[in-house]
Amino acid sequence: MTEQTKNGTWAAPLEVTEGAVRAARNAIEAEGRTCEGTYIRVGVRAGGCSGHSYALAFDTEARDGDAVVFKGDVRFLVDEQSRRVLSGTLLDYTSGLNGQGFVFKNPNATSTCGCGESFSV
């Protein structure tokens, strides 16, 4: 997987599984959008019981400093500040008896809360 910004190409800030790509594509299409005109913005924000939480959102354009991670026909954006915290993270999607959703496996997280929705670095 490659990462591109307006300033060049570097190693990808996160790895995305095929399951996460399928789920992202399904979410894009469920919103009446196309993969060609939509990005999935992956980020970190302050909040949650452990200090940080993950954020996923639709976006229509990359901003200065954004990394663009291409995986098949789906494009993921990571802003410069989140890239530092997400470096080496695996974004996956799981479904089963305990629920379904995107899962972040972040090697930079030093602890997580009991619900798994927030973390500290």
pLDDT in tens, 86-106: 999 999 999 887 778 999 998
Please name each of the domains of the chain with its CATH number: 2-112 (2.60.300.12)
Instruction: State the burial class of residue 20 (Cβ atoms within 10 Å of its Cβ: 0-12, 13-18, 19+).
Output: buried
pLDDT of residue 2: 43
Q: Which of 40, 46, 95 is nearest to 68 (CA)?
A: 40
pLDDT of residue 115: 56
Quote helix, strand, coil % in the chain, to nearest 5.
Answer: 15, 45, 35
**Reported pTM:** 0.82
Mean pLDDT of the chain: 85
Alpha-carbon span 22 to 90, nearest angstrom: 15
Q: Strands across the sheet with 99-105, in order? A: 14-16, 89-96, 99-105
